[in-house]
Amino acid sequence: MPDAGNIRIDGHTLLAGVIGWPVAHSRSPLMHNWWLRQGGINGAYVPLPVAPGQFETAVRGLLAAGFRGVNVTIPHKESAYRIVDRLHRSARRSGSVNTLVFDSDGKIEGYSTDGDGFVANVEAHGIAVNGGRALLLGAGGAARAIAASLLDRGMEVLVANRTRARADALAASLEGVVVVDWAQAGSVLPGCAMLVNTTSIGMEGGAQAQFPLDLAQADPALVVCDIVYVPRRTGLLEWAAGHGLRTVDGLGMLIHQAGLGFEKWFGAKPDIGPAVEALLDADLRHPRARDAG
């Protein structure tokens, strides 16, 4: 956990945070405050529990109070998209906003860092993202952001979702996405270079449904990614490893997408490497210790 004794708070402190409801579970304050201490930056990053219906009021207040910006999480991402004055291309492409930057002119800029954070994490594992076919499971905001970033890098993107209508809506709003029926997803797997789970299946305390796939039919070069990071080794990743396939867990995506916002708010590139990964991994392994703090 952040050591409050090492965080200097004064009239020059740069402020940012994460807005959600609830937000107590977020690891973002731990990560950002560690980066601030490591960089010797006079800044602080705080959790901001904001109830539904109060989002715009809260954001306007933070802007007036001199915050540099905020991350936005459930259930406020759609509200964030509507409130911004300027949408970055990443947000327009993904149709979602997870990072707000408050400019000196009083305007609010909206970014989506999920897609580029996902790609950066995959590339950090030594895997090139520059072509081939990807199968995405799920059709929510994260899926759309990831799909947009993969399309921008020349990949073909197939999407399968348990509710077909949501996949169709994603494809209608993002040119180049091809929808596959959930039950038929396994039929396209042999031609894929990447499989990405963006659903809550496998998440601790979440859905435990079965995937409509047989990894034994996959190309041996298939890379299996899961954006879930609690637990880090999801059932899907264990299954893939058992078939000798390369795997990428979701913790690195969390770190990389956070780093993009940190740089915009605090004007410095954070240390995205094994040290911060170890910090978060230790916290994930000891949730009771975190909650007790």
| Residue 65 counted as an annotated binding residue | no
> Which residues lie below 8 Å from residue 174, measured CB to CB, with a gap of 6+?
93, 95, 144, 147, 148, 151
Q: Please give, one letter per residue, the 3-state secondary structure of 225-280.
A: EECCCCCCCCHHHHHHHHCCCEEECCHHHHHHHHHHHHHHHHCCCCCCCHHHHHHH
SS3 185: helix
| Residue 131 counted as an annotated binding residue | no
| Residue 11 counted as an annotated binding residue | no
- C-beta of residue 194 within 8 angstroms of C-beta of residue 222: yes
| Residue 113 counted as an annotated binding residue | no
| Residue 219 counted as an annotated binding residue | no
| Residue 235 counted as an annotated binding residue | no
Q: What share of the chain is helix, strand, coil (3-state, %, to 5)?
A: 45, 20, 40
Token reading at 114: 């999920």
- C-beta of residue 141 within 8 angstroms of C-beta of residue 110: no
| Residue 114 counted as an annotated binding residue | yes
Read off the amino acid at residue 279.
L
| Residue 139 counted as an annotated binding residue | yes
Place of tokens 């973002």: 28
| Residue 162 counted as an annotated binding residue | yes
| Residue 28 counted as an annotated binding residue | yes
| Residue 79 counted as an annotated binding residue | no
The answer to whether 77 is a known catalytic residue is yes
Dihedral sign (CA 129, 135, 138, 140): positive
Q: Which of 77, 107, 264, 269 is catalytic?
A: 77
Cα–Cα distance list, 261 to 36, 45, 50, 101, 288 (Å): 13, 12, 20, 8, 28
What long-range pairs does 175-184 form, CB within 8 A, spacing at least 24? 176/151, 177/147, 177/151, 180/135, 182/212, 183/212, 184/160, 184/212
| Residue 140 counted as an annotated binding residue | yes
| Residue 166 counted as an annotated binding residue | yes
| Residue 27 counted as an annotated binding residue | yes
| Residue 161 counted as an annotated binding residue | yes
| Residue 164 counted as an annotated binding residue | yes
| Residue 40 counted as an annotated binding residue | no
CA distance 229 to 223: 17
Q: Residues annotated in the binding site for NADP(+), as ranges?
A: 138-142, 161-166, 227, 250
Q: Residues annotated in the binding site, as ranges?
A: 26-28, 73, 98, 114, 138-142, 161-166, 227, 229, 250, 257
Q: Residues annotated in the binding site for shikimate, as ranges?
A: 26-28, 73, 98, 114, 229, 257
Q: Name the residues annotated as catalytic.
A: 77
